Amino acid sequence: METNNRVGKFSASRISELLAGGTGKTAQSYCLDLAMEMIGIKKDLQTSDMLHGIVNQLNAFELCVKPLHPNINWHDEYMAIDDRCGASPDFIGIGIVGDIKCPTSIYTYLEQIEKMPTKYYNQLQMQMMSANVKDAMLCFYLTKKEEWGEDEWSEYPMPLKDRFKIFDVQKDGETCDKIMSAVEKYQPEKTILAEKLANAPVMDEVEFFYSQMQGMRLKNLKEASNIFTAADKIIRVSNKFFYSK
């Protein structure tokens, strides 16, 4: 498998899910999403908030980052750390990478520029690992979200200088070690899970409907308290997976 192929690989944007504590359910759910990718089932994770970021991130780069750092270039391409994980920095320069976030509301913007969310800090750590650099930047850019049915869009009246903030972040060896330890832990689990999904018995929707009507209680695999264990008893219906309790 080519290392520049991001399908099924642990990524910087969701790495905090792998580091989540508690029962490990969040990490298991992330592994399930990747295992499904590995067998050709791509989950659409794009929300309206994510689309807002995709539409506006290049504008943010040109308006906010590039004037201050003219030698930095737009990137937004996957860079492998190894054959298990990687990152896609929005922009890259000599010795530095960075990312852009476009909060969808004034309230979210103010919260995030006051204290950078940990998930973004972890994301930058993976980006630095992928590019083998020690410095990163995170740019928060506030721009008004377009609403469906809105007759005429207009930008917030605040000046640009008040609608963006750039954070400088340095490589954190301890966090990088935690990330790679989590990758090491969950890589085999994810691979085994993908094999179980690929070999799951297939049931058509009519059979599924009547089996449920007759008392065969099949639950969505993602709802299992332990997805890895529940995957021993799974059934595939179209592109969804269920387990028998």
Q: Could you give the domains of the chain?
A: 45-174 (3.90.320.10), 200-245 (no CATH)
Residues 6+ apart with CB under 8 A from 226: 28
| Mean pLDDT for the chain overall | 93
* Confidence tier at 219 by pLDDT (50, 70, 90): very high
Highest mean pLDDT range out of 3-12, 153-162, 208-217?
A: 153-162
pLDDT of residue 148: 67
Residues 6+ apart with CB under 8 A from 64: 139, 141, 160, 164, 166
143 HSE (CA, 13 A, CB side): 21
Token readout for 202 is 């297939």
* Confidence tier at 45 by pLDDT (50, 70, 90): low
Residues 6+ apart with CB under 8 A from 219: 242, 243, 244, 245
Q: Pick from 234, 28, 202: which is nearest to 244 by CA?
A: 234
pLDDT of residue 180: 98
pLDDT of residue 46: 72
Q: What is the mean pLDDT of residues 104-118?
A: 96
Residue 4 has pLDDT above 60, yes or no: no
Beta bridge partners of residue 137, listed in sequence order: 98, 168
> E strands within 19-171?
73-74, 79-80, 85-87, 91-93, 96-101, 135-141, 164-170
Q: What is the mean pLDDT of residues 23-47?
A: 90
Residue 1 has pLDDT above 50, yes or no: no
